[in-house]
Structure 1
Amino acid sequence: MDWTAQIDGYCERLGPGLLAEPANAVTNLAFVIVALWLWPRARGVERWLCAVLAVIGIGSGLFHTFATAWASLADVVPILLYILIYVYAANLRFWGWSMWVSALGAVLFVPYALAAGQVFAVLPGFAVSSFYWPVPLLIFVYAFLLRSRLPRVSAGLAIGTGILCASLVARSVDDALCPVLPFGTHFMWHLLNATMLGWMITVLRRHRLEPHRAEG
């Protein structure tokens, strides 16, 4: 594989060069800004998530400037890492599972995502972002299952699901709307995704601050 091969997969990129996607590149600062804003109030695994959130912005920024295969890897790996850490934290805090069981649940996200992604790939309108759609589906399942046990957490996860779905729509219609929107809509994926990932950390933090309050 040629790790330096150029990738042109977005409406805004009309040619080679570091400045070929200005909106897509600059909006990655949103991830770093949200991470820095949440950091002072974060504790434990929340800080790990904040750190990875900042790295997501850096990795995505590299991809939308260099637009190479290696930069694409720098873009997607931190996202996967964030998901795995969050699933682990959710299992540990929301369900009260042991560290080992929580970690196993996080690892099982990978085969789940691969299988569900194949299903989304054949659904009309979902193929473009088929590898991402399993994520809001899983968050929704957690929200549904926690509706009686932790209603506040459930509501927070449901909000996260909605934001991520809107974000994925923006990512998916980028090419289709290119003829009428020269900058495309991928930059909205960055802004909405930064909001959503920050919100998910906030859901964890709020739950941590109310451990003594029984919900329901």
Structure 2
Amino acid sequence: MDWFEQIDGYCERTDFTYWSEPVNAVTNLAFIIAALIFWRRSAGVPMVRVLSAILFLIGIGSYLFHTHATVWAAMADVVPIGVFILTYLFVVNRDMVPMGGWLAAFATALFIPYAAALVPVLNHIPFLAISNFYWTVPILLCLYAAFLRKRPGIAQGFLIGAGLLSLSIVIRSLDEILCDVIPIGTHFMWHVLNGVMLGWMIHVYTRHMLATGRAGR
């Protein structure tokens, strides 16, 4: 693998200079701002700070990708996203379902075969195939909302998160399709909406932990 191979994947990029995607680069502030807000609002819940730190790294990694546009920068972009998904899923399983620690870890690991099975199905649906992996997350949030429907605070929070993320994924998928209409593309709105969505998901978790008197966990 050539870690320095350059990638042109977004409408805004016209060459491989550092600032070829200024809007896509700068809008990663949405992740960083959300991370700082929820770091300060952790309210004594340790995993809120962990999630906030990972969210901060999502912003940094995405910034690196939209400036350097290389394979190594792409890894810096996607790895923190994957870590956030698995970490959030773990605390949902452990603290909101809830399960014992080892069982929660096992249930979290099931995300990998779940995504591996669902992505090929999504590949057969033309528009959904563009952002196939990302669609696994709002679908899973809806499944958890259905499972936790007798706990409306959590279920409603997950459905709102799924709605925000679905809108964000649609906007991400439209980026290159609408290049002729919107020269800077639509990817920057993916950053803004995801900053809001991930912050919302941290809020849902924080609210649950405080409401159940488990802030120190």
TM-score between the two structures when normalised by the length of structure 1:
0.96
- Aligned structure 1 segments of 4 or more residues deviating by more than 6 angstroms: none
| 1:1-216 alignment runs, 5 A limit | 1-42=1-42, 43-148=45-150, 150-211=151-212
Displacement, 1:106? 1.1
Q: Letter of the 2:209 partner, please give it.
A: R
- Aligned 8 A contact 1:117 1:132 in 2: no
Q: Letter of the 1:201 partner, please give it.
A: I
* C-alpha distance in structure 2 between counterparts of 1:118 and 1:200, whole Å: 27
CA offset digits 1:92-144 (Å, max 9, x no partner): 11112001111111111111112111111111210110011111100110011
Displacement, 1:187? 0.3
Displacement, 1:78? 0.2
* C-alpha distance in structure 1 between counterparts of 2:41 and 2:9, whole Å: 37
RMSD (Å) for aligned C-alpha atoms: 0.8
For the residue of structure 1 that corresponds to 2:133, the secondary structure is coil
More contact order relative to length (CA 8 Å, sep ≥ 6): 2
Q: Letter of the 2:91 partner, please give it.
A: A
- Aligned 8 A contact 1:52 1:82 in 2: yes
Q: List alignment gaps of at least 5 residues for structure 2.
A: none
Displacement, 1:196? 0.5
CA offset digits 1:24-83 (Å, max 9, x no partner): 000001101100011122121111100000000000000000000000000000000000
How many residues get paired? 211
